[in-house]
Amino acid sequence: MALNQMIVEDLKKNKRASKLPDVDAREIKVKATELIMQQVSENDLEILKQHGSKIDVLIDNKIEQQVVKVKNTLKTPEA
């Protein structure tokens, strides 16, 4: 299952709480990190290190951005 789909399904299940349970959020973060790291080459990592960038911080920020984006697409205006 694609990561975005996994997030959407979890959010739909927990719509009333409008927040993912901590366990689900951690699971999504771990899976997302694994998927991203599979796509990053050793050369990319070296370039990031040379410029003082920390890959884990970059990944965490990107994951948070995506989660917020998905949440915003699920929001429905209240009547």
Domain ranges within the chain, ordered by starting residue: 3-72
C-alpha to C-alpha distance for 19 and 28, rounded to whole angstroms: 13
Band of residue 41 on the pLDDT scale cut at 50, 70, 90: very high
CA 49 to chain centre: 22
Band of residue 43 on the pLDDT scale cut at 50, 70, 90: very high
DSSP at 14 = T
Band of residue 79 on the pLDDT scale cut at 50, 70, 90: very low
